[in-house]
Chains A and B, each alone.
Chain A
Amino acid sequence: MRKVLLPSLIILATSLLVIRIFYLQIIDDTLKLKSDNNAIKIKYEYPERGYIYDRKGKLLVANQASYDIMVIPRELKNTDTLEFCQLLNITKEDFIKKIEKAKVYSPRLPSVFLPQLNKSEFAAFQEKIRKYQGFYFQKRSLRDYEVAFGANIFGFITQVNEKLVAKNPYYNSGDLIGRQGVEESYEDLLRGIKGVKYIQKDKYNREIGSYKDGKYDTIAVQGEDINLTLDAELQKYGEELMINKRGGIVAIEPKTGEILALVTAPSYDPGILVGRQRSKNYTQLYRDSIAKPLYDRGLLAEYPPGSPFKILTGLVALQEGVVDEQSTFMCRGGFSYGRGRFQKCHCKIFGNVKLHNGVYRSCNAYFSNAYLRTIGKYAKPAYAVDAWSNHVKSFGLGQFMGYDLPTGKKGNVPDSKTYKKVYPNGGWRGTTIISNAIGQGEVLMTPIQLANMMATVANEGYYYTPHIIKKIEGHKIDKKFTTKHVTTIDKKYFKPIISGLFDVYNMGTASALRVEGIDICGKTGTAENFARIDGKRIKLEDHSIFVAFAPKDNPKIAIAILVENGGYGAAIAGPIASLMIEKYLRQKITRVDLEKRILATSLQSRYAKLGGLSEAVKLQIRISDSLLKKKTIIPTVKVKTDTTKSNKQAI
């Protein structure tokens, strides 16, 4: 018996291998199909990308035909390089470089030689392409932007990188993919599914029909059209107001969480990232590390929120029962705490402050006192800070909000753990962390979080996760966008705060910005900021912040505005907010002078201190100017969806 074991094992194992190889080679012919060999050629049919509309059905992003010139290096035969280069308007060096690159990728697989030619560029070449063996073209559809704004929301289309090709079996080298904005977050829906055709070839490389009668072929599935929650007019107006400034605007419909406008400045015309100039333009935008046109400030700019945060300080103090509407504190131009430490206040009240005038005069002393009481409510400050922290976090702060755009920042809401790290031996209390009261401490917020906070206040205690998707034909939008988030603050505590915010416009810090007939509730804010120039820390002009919602009863819009180095809140962010609100609620502007002044305001000289104007900023200024002059003003007439549909089929 003992002699037989090894020989039997050998015979058994060998048979097993032979059976497996027989299965692979003879029975399973899907493997043969996958073998990308000479006998079978795979042709892809690329579906058209879905269109993008705004909330009113206005077409924002459509498609145009474009052509990629492809090359299979091994099949190249005596190319007339000179004529070829002339036709495509490239240099001979370019030609050689591109061929080399293609060879490195694979001598026998097609690679993109020259991407994204438009119709006229391609026309001359088309007639002669047969002369050049090894070259062929592939028709693609490219984005055709109907508007010159919203680049940060749309994102752009680019060639998929090799890393993703290796990871995701759907994509092949040279395929297009959405990057940033909704093109990225709704890539799967917008792109559709490409069709695959297997074509049988004979020994002489001639196509002789479809492989196995098309048993393995698939048909392309059209990309889905989507409607955004964006209001195109408001978006355009916001971008215009932000010309020559840096910052972000976020407008949300409080009742639904729909994002009405998401402006970042500087931005760019989305059209410059289409076609042959794409990579040149993109590099220019990408390299601009100072103005950062690709950086969505509305979603990414984390700052201490400043005074708008007093809203939350007040709400938490009310909820915790440490103050009520009648509680009074003294303000003598500031607030002293600890050993002779003093925090200045600009409210100019010099006397008793209650919640109401504390809000509309933005009194530091009032809110610092209220915060001290909140933190002093429990014997242990750690416990109180955590209670406060949880209240604040219930407004969606200090965490990713879960909106449907691919970039974001968490912001920061400290809790007892934060301070345990900073003060490992304890000994911290209310006065140590007093800056939190007025939004200058460890708290950080992005503009979209500010806007969402205002929407929550407008709703008196709940919010829906902000989102940009309004409608996808045949699909429901994600459930998380229709789920109500209720804060830990009772509804009744919002009333006094809202009435204070209303008086910010009537007699407070924004009284100069009133719009006749619209009840706006708002709050100014200022964020200090510093920069390191030539190794020295220099205090720069404050960032101007403004948050608002309107109308007071039945709010339709909540908005947050951040203008970098714009000065105090009411200087520039405030006017922009009131103009935006008027534009959205009335579709026209009554205060033409104010509008003119804001449009003409340029902060470029302030930004120049940060490192001068780069080429890209200059380009940006040019683009912004052309945006203003651009004839494609949004038609006020609603575009009929039907006509755009038929257009689409014609392309």
Chain B
Amino acid sequence: MKNQSITNNIDWISIIIYVLLVILGWLNIYSSSLSSMEDTYEKQLIFIVLTIPLIFIVLSVDGKFYEKYASIIFGISLLTLAGLFLFGKTIAGQRCWYAIGSFTIQPSEFAKAATALALAKYLSDTQINLKETNRQIQALAIILLPVILILPQPDPGSALIYSIFIIVLYREGLPSWYVWTGFITILLFVLTLILEPQYVILIGLATLILVHFKSRLADRNIILSSMLFVVISGFVLSVNYVFENVFKQHHRDRFNILLGKTVDLKGIGYNTNQSEIAIGSGGWLGKGFLEGTQTKGGFVPEQHTDYIFTTVGEEWGFAGSLVVIALFAGLFLRIIYLAERQKTKFSRVYGYCVAGILFTHFFVNIAMVVGIFPTIGVPLPFFSYGGSGLWGFTILLFIFIKMDANKVNEW
């Protein structure tokens, strides 16, 4: 068994989807780079070629390695994040890169994989029961440590990704009220921004009364219901304060545009508006490869990075967009399917994390590009230009593929 090929038992479906996504990504970067003088597509090609040895290394390492050294990997990752405060290079106001010559590397892209490993390692202990408050705090601490280091860089996009770990914890037994609280908080926040606070409070009251009287007589607890109402009202009333005083102007602008409160075609809404135009002009079948006029005209800013999906929409149309989205969705579902198949809790949790991280990136990115989410800088996995991102996602995915291939050996 020792000298078996590294390709033994690996999941070819995931790999084929991965390869397709990388190739499609590069083609779109190529197209979008024609409008600018930069040679982004050549650089991306180098990044892609360099993933091949990277994949070999990841697949060659013994499957047990990741579980054994998860804590150490996590520790190193935290150190690299902390080191940014001392040695980081500031690009466009964000201090999230290390510069080695003309080459820059973004540690937060690798921290996600490390956090996933650490979380998997922690949960794989059979003693762990997420019903216990202590355990909950410890698990949340693992997630929040990198977030605390990433937020002040400032990189809210990367930090946002970590929220998906809650879903992973839920899968492993976290009480459901965590998820519900999170969900309702977001819902109330958005509702309050759209409607007036008093309406939201009314809606909350109505819902509570309904729940209260619909539930069984024994469960009726007037004190709990009233307390909930007070908490909800307090939250709703503080939303405007937070929005006006804690958020920065550009955050407010992004929310307002999204909620249709301010129509400002050429101001702050410029990015979103241009990307919507580019995608909208694609129609059923798109304008054809390299024929996108919005792409060529260079109307969409940051098109090769966060807005790469606009090229897909414009040049490949609805059909192309559907294919890309289907590939992504297929990959996520495949990973979850594989994760559920795992024999060890460690690799199952890790697989779940991989699916969650990739999915969050995918959703936040495309939702932003099509204008249903505020402008938050998050790359589209395998598509967006950038070496750190591509390698980070590749390592993340292939560690799981290696674990999955290994499961046969773990009997």
Contact = CB atoms under 8 A, between A and B. Distances in A.
A592 interface: no
Interface string A14-26: 1011101110111
B296 to A, nearest CB: 7
A166 interface: yes
Contacts of A106: 297-298
Interface in A23-63: 24-26, 28, 31-32, 34-38
Chain B binding surface SS class: helix
Nearest to A74: B296
Interface stretch (B96-104, B146-154, B316-324): B316-324
Contact of B321 (A25, A28, A31): A25
Contact of B359 (A10, A34, A36, A38): A10
Interface in B282-338: 282-284, 287, 293-294, 296-299, 313, 317-318, 321-322, 325, 328-329, 332-333, 336
A533 interface: no
B355 A25 contact: no
Interface string A159-185: 000000111110000000000000000
B370 interface: yes
A379 interface: no
B293 A21 contact: no
A587 B338 CA distance: 98
Contacts of A31: 276-277, 279-281
A200 to B, nearest CB: 14
Given A3-B171, A11-B329, A24 B359 contact: no
B269 to A, nearest CB: 11
Contact of B280 (A14, A24, A166): A24
B170 interface: yes
A421 interface: no
Contacts of B173: 2
B367 interface: yes
B366 A24 contact: no
Determine the interface band of chain A, counting residues with CB < 8 A from chain B.
Answer: 35 or more
Contacts of A9: 167, 359
B265 interface: yes
Contacts of B313: 21, 24-25
A6 interface: yes
A25 B282 contact: yes
Interface string B172-200: 01000001000000000000000000000
A29 to B, nearest CB: 8
Contacts of B293: 35-38, 108
B118 interface: no
Interface string A567-593: 000000000000000000000000000
A517 interface: no
Contacts of A38: 293
A108 B35 CA distance: 11
A7 interface: yes
Interface in B338-355: 340, 352, 355
A65 to B, nearest CB: 30
Contact of A3 (B266, B340, B355, B370): B340
B267 A167 contact: yes
Contacts of A169: 265-266
B372 interface: yes
A109 B283 CA distance: 23
A650 interface: no
Contacts of B340: 3
Contact of A7 (B284, B318, B333): B333
A165 B267 CA distance: 10
A31 B276 CA distance: 7
Contact of B325 (A5, A14, A37): A14
A13 interface: yes
A109 B356 CA distance: 43
B47 interface: no
B329 A10 contact: yes
A167 B278 CA distance: 20
Nearest to A26: B318
Contacts of B276: 24, 31
Nearest to A28: B280
Contacts of A14: 325, 328-329, 363
Given A25-B284, A32-B280, A167-B267, A37 B372 contact: no
Interface string A423-463: 00000000000000000000000000000000000000000
B318 A22 contact: yes
Nearest to A34: B277
B366 A25 contact: no
A21 B356 contact: no
B359 A17 contact: no
Contact of A35 (B278, B356, B372): B278
Contacts of A13: 359, 363, 367
A169 B352 CA distance: 47
B170 to A, nearest CB: 6
A18 B318 CA distance: 9
Contacts of B352: 6
Nearest to B326: A14
B171 A5 contact: yes
A168 B297 contact: no
Contact of A37 (B265, B267, B281): B281
Contact of A17 (B270, B283, B363): B363
A18 B325 CA distance: 8
Contacts of B297: 36, 106, 108-109
A100 to B, nearest CB: 14
A18 B276 CA distance: 14
Interface in A192-213: none
Given A13-B359, A37-B293, A109-B297, A25 B283 contact: yes
**Residue among B280, B299, B313 with the highest chain A CB neighbour number at 10 A:** B280
Contacts of A11: 329, 333
B335 to A, nearest CB: 10
**Residue among A17, A18, A38, A168 with the highest chain B CB neighbour number at 10 A:** A17
A105 B241 CA distance: 43
A5 B329 contact: no
A199 to B, nearest CB: 16
A17 B325 contact: yes
Interface string B249-281: 000000000000000011100100000111111
Given A10-B359, A106-B297, A21 B281 contact: no
A10 B370 contact: no
Interface string B218-232: 000000000000000
Interface in B358-384: 359, 363, 366-367, 370-372
Contacts of B325: 14, 17-18, 21
Contact of A21 (B265, B266, B370): B370
Contact of B167 (A6, A21, A25, A37): A6
A20 B370 contact: yes
Contacts of A167: 266-267
Contact of B296 (A21, A108, A165, A166): A108
Contact of B336 (A6, A22, A25, A37): A6
Contacts of A168: 266
9 closest residue pairs by CB, A with B: A31-B280, A35-B281, A37-B293, A24-B280, A14-B329, A25-B318, A20-B370, A169-B265, A13-B363
20 contacts: A3-B340, A5-B179, A6-B167, A6-B355, A14-B363, A20-B370, A20-B372, A21-B279, A21-B325, A24-B276, A24-B313, A25-B283, A25-B318, A32-B283, A36-B294, A108-B296, A108-B297, A109-B297, A167-B267, A169-B266
Interface of B: 167-168, 170-171, 173, 179, 265-267, 270, 276-284, 287, 293-294, 296-299, 313, 317-318, 321-322, 325, 328-329, 332-333, 336, 340, 352, 355-356, 359, 363, 366-367, 370-372
Given A2-B171, A21-B322, 13 more contacts: A6-B352, A7-B336, A10-B333, A11-B333, A14-B328, A17-B325, A24-B280, A26-B283, A28-B280, A31-B279, A31-B281, A108-B296, A167-B266
